[in-house]
Amino acid sequence: MSTVTAILPAKTFETAKQRLAPTVQLGNRRALVESMFADAVLALRRVPSIDHILVVTADPVAMQIAGGYDATVVEDTTSSHSEATLLGIRRALALGAARALLVPGDCPLLDPSELEALIARPVPERSVLIVPDRHGEGTNALLLTPPDVMPPAFGEGSRRRHTELASAHGAVPEVVEVSSLALDIDTPDDLDALLEAFAATRGRAAHTRGMLSQLTRSQA
């Protein structure tokens, strides 16, 4: 059975989510980022097919949270999300991983069963499964077989870019929609969508639900 390592890069919490500044104050932004990160790591822990979790970060609080969930910390010495994932990929290869699942720390609705189904999809020996964001333009997750099948290139328009990169590196690309990975929280509109999702569902994202519930009450 091929081993799967999940890689989760995490920016420094203090400077994350600047686009939320118009509606969420700095202290609350930090608390929100910590909560989403904790929910994401916890969801990964509940995926049976994931053998290792690597958190790539320079943030001491993220390191503590990762350690609390038995994730391995890789110190981030880079300046971009894509470069951070490459650090994780190198460590995953050192651990003997046959596949790497790259996921963000700002998708608090992560559903372990959906991740398990994604990993279980039949794929050729060299493949890239691309999970788009809710707008269909960005990339919220990659499942790379093998882990170094191509260099990730996150950012605006990355869904198409990852498709082209996979083909250029002799891999088979496939875009797979995963509903719990579609919503990443970057803007006030994203936050509104998350609040609507929480109102319509129960369970999952306990840390983020609790934090936003406190924030809502304090602003009432």
- Per-residue pLDDT of 80-119, as tens digits, reads 999 999 999 999 999 999 999 999 999 999 999 999 999 9
148/151 Cα distance (integer angstroms): 7
What is the per-residue pLDDT for 22?
82
Mean pLDDT, the chain, integer: 93
Structure tokens at 175: 């875009």
What pTM did the predictor assign?
Answer: 0.93
152-209 pLDDT, tens digit per residue, is 999 999 999 999 999 999 999 999 999 999 999 999 999 999 999 998 888 789 999 9
Q: What is the CATH number of domain 4-219?
A: 3.90.550.10
The β-bridge relationship of strands 139-145 and 127-132 is antiparallel
What is the per-residue pLDDT for 66?
97
17/27 Cα distance (integer angstroms): 12
